[in-house]
Amino acid sequence: MTQPQFEEFLHKISEDKKREKEKHIIKEKAEKSAKNEESWAKTDAETQRSKKLDNDDKQNDITLKSHYAYWLIGIMVIQLIIMNRVFLDVGSGLLKYDNYVLHLYITGTLLELFGLVLVITKYLFKNK
């Protein structure tokens, strides 16, 4: 074996030793990480409790949203009844308002109703 071949052989052996040492270090780190992970991993009871709390939270959210929706729809119905009553009273002559005031009242009431519909559809029943 010549000198350059011998040096190449030594270099190859040292590279192999370095790779083996790196593999060993990586293996030790992986084992240590796995042990640490086991120590803080959730147990089945904790996982079930967490799922139950999530489900309870979602159920409370649904109940609250339905209550808000019923109240807002009730407000809309009352506003429509009042607006129609004012409109009929003005038409029958029981109430006297200028056309300008009546237009503003009806427009404002309708915009308020559309705003409530927007709130109900956009915020109370949004997709997650």
Residue 36: what pLDDT?
65
- Taking only the tens place, the pLDDT of each residue in 25-78 is 888 887 777 666 656 666 777 888 888 888 888 888 888 888 888 888 898 899
Instruction: Note the pLDDT of residue 24.
Output: 83
pLDDT surpasses 90 at 104 = yes
Q: What is the pLDDT of residue 20?
A: 83
For residues 90 and 99, what is the distance between their CA atoms, to the nearest angstrom? 10
Kindly tell me the burial class for residue 124, based on how many C-beta atoms sit within 10 Å of its own C-beta (0-12, 13-18, 19 or more): middle
Q: What is the mean pLDDT of residues 16-22?
A: 82
Q: What is the pLDDT of residue 38?
A: 58
pTM greater than 0.75 (yes/no): no
Domain range list for the chain: 1-41, 51-128
**In the predicted structure, residue 2 carries a pLDDT above the cut 80:** no
CB 70 within 8 A of CB 63: no
